[in-house]
Chain A
Amino acid sequence: DIQMTQSPSSLSASVGDRVTIICRASQTISSYLNWYQQKPGKAPKLLIYDTSTLERGVPSRFSGSGSGTDFTLTINSLQPADFATYYCQQTYSSPWTFGQGTKVEIK
């Protein structure tokens, strides 16, 4: 199975900051990497798929990059609505797997 490792596990940031979250796969996953945002008590929401394609309706301050085994989610100018937990997921091969999550908290 492909293991997904996110870093950091949590971070504190201020409104307006630029935030970067890293996701590393245990083997190459081409570009089959998705990012989700989850707020407490809610279902996850798809933000980015295929490494860098923004899901419809997602603000352009979110962006994704990477390939192979190393991927990044960047949030430019962090907004109050962005404080949440973020998960990466590989859909390159079954079983699909998620990272352990990165919690973005208010500094």
Chain B
Amino acid sequence: QVTLRESGPALVKPTQTLTLTCAFSGFSPSSSGIYVSWIRQPPGKALEWLARLDWDDDKYYDTSLRTRLTISRDTSKNQVVLSMTNMDPVDTATYYCARGRRKLDVWGKGTTVTVSS
């Protein structure tokens, strides 16, 4: 069974860097065409795609957030990590990771992050 699970701090202060981890199991990231994306959703708002990592190490980012985002992998732990710098209250959201190349077919349950001093 394919599963993804997000983890990270529930509360961060403004200007801090957020680091989130997506731990996955049940599939091999070395298989061709495997991508892991991060998506967020502010309270009551729409989904926003943030970044994607291809296991060939190609990386893609949202245009408006690309200067603040870094996506990386830990192959030994089957994890994908997302870092977002200079956090602001507007970044308060539920953050999801999801698997897929042309479709996001498996999602984690999400982790809620609040940005507040």
The smallest C-beta distance from A102 to any residue of chain B, in angstroms, reads 10
The answer, among B48, B63, B109, for a CB contact under 8 Å with A98, is: B48
Contact A98 B47 (CB under 8 A): yes
Among residues of A, the one whose C-beta sits closest to the C-beta of B58 is: A94
B59-75 with Cβ < 8 A to chain A: 60-63
Give bound CA distance, A94 to B101, whole Å: 11
Chain A positions within 8 Å of B, measured between CB atoms, are 1, 32, 34, 36, 38, 42-46, 49-50, 55, 87, 89, 91, 94-101
In the complex, what distance in Å separates the CA atom of A34 from the CA atom of B100? 12
Are A34 and B104 in touch, CB under 8 angstroms?
yes
- Count contacts on B: residues with CB < 8 A to the other chain: 23
Dominant secondary structure of chain A at its interface with chain B: loop
Asked if B107 and A44 make an inter-chain contact with CB atoms under 8 angstroms apart, the answer reads: yes
Q: Which of B96, B104, B109 contacts A46 (CB 8 A)?
A: B104
Prevailing SS type, chain B contact patch: loop
In the complex, chain B residues whose CB is within 8 Å of the CB of A100: 46
Whether B46 pairs with A87 at a CB distance below 8 angstroms is yes
Bound together, the chains give a CA A73 to CA B30 distance in angstroms of 34
Q: Which chain B residues lie closer than 8 Å to A49 at the CB level?
A: 102-103, 105
Which interface residue of A36, A43, A49, A55 has the most chain B CB atoms within 10 A?
A: A43
With A and B bound together, what is the CA distance between A49 and B60 in angstroms? 21
Task: Give chain A residues whose Cβ lies under 8 Å from the Cβ of B48.
Answer: 98
List the B side residues contacting A38 at CB < 8 Å: 47
Are A94 and B52 interface neighbours, CB within 8 A?
yes
Give the nearest-CB partner of A38 in chain B: B47
CB distance from B56 to the nearest CB of A (A): 14
Query: Could you say which of A36, A55, A96 contacts B52, with CB atoms under 8 Å apart?
Result: A96
In the complex, the answer to whether B105 meets A44 with C-beta atoms within 8 Å is no
